[in-house]
Amino acid sequence: MVAVKARFDGKKIVVPEEMRGAPPGEVIVIFPEVAEANESWAWMKGQEQAFAEAWDNDEDAVYDRL
């Protein structure tokens, strides 16, 4: 699993140039602004701990320096 910062242009998700050509697959999309504005998405806030645990390890620390 790789985490990258991308952008949604209103129609499609635009990934960084270095990720173009990556093999097709499923992705996780998080819209922070929408989640904060919409209480029905409060479950996303509850997932922060799970994401933190999954990404807070030595193996994935290399991505913190990208």
pLDDT digits (tens, 9 = 90+) for 5-44: 888 888 998 999 998 888 888 888 887 766 555 565 667 7
Residues recorded for the chain = 66
Q: Decide: 27 and 13 in contact? Cβ < 8 Å.
A: yes
* pLDDT of amino acid 32: 72
Residue 57 has pLDDT above 80, yes or no: no
Check if the beta carbon of residue 2 is closer than 8 Å to that of residue 63. Answer: yes
pLDDT for position 48: 78
Assessment of whether the complete model's pTM goes beyond 0.75: no
pLDDT at 39: 61
Contact 18, 3 (CB under 8 A): no
- Under DSSP, the state recorded for 18 is G
Query: How far is Cα of residue 45 from the mean position of the Cα atoms in its chain?
Result: 13
